[in-house]
Structure 1
Amino acid sequence: MAYKDEKIVRVLLEEASSIDERCDGYREELTSALADIVQKERAHLFQRSNIVVEIGDIVSRVGTFVGMREGSE
């Protein structure tokens, strides 16, 4: 991974760890989603896929997680 990419990932992870905890496990879910997005983007460089749909699915996953957690509180 190039230095620029590493720096971007580091900044994203730092921001995710400092974000307000909307519900239990939110930061961990957000960090996992960021890792998945970076992985999908990296794979997209080598194999063309519908990256917009894949990222949308990940964002929806985080939204569902928050909705389920907030609904159970």
Structure 2
Amino acid sequence: MAEAATTNLVGKLETDVEIKASAGQFHHMFAGRPHHVSKASPGNIQACDLHEGDWGKVGSIVYWNYVHGKYT
């Protein structure tokens, strides 16, 4: 019987995104309400799910579903 292969992707992803908000508003959304990011950028971030901990708390584990590059 063949074993199922699992792939772990670990690394760093950076991008430049123009936002129309103050630095304080931006920080508040990412630090305290990351689940709102998909509403602010639906073309890039598709979803954000909490796996462990509490929204906006240090040490929480958040799963991001995003599009990298052009999706056709």
Query: TM-score by structure 1 length?
Result: 0.26
Task: Point out which structure has higher relative CO (alpha carbons under 8 A, 6+ apart).
Answer: 1
The structure where strand makes up a greater share of residues is: 2
Query: Rg larger in 1 or in 2?
Result: 2
The structure where helix makes up a greater share of residues is: 1
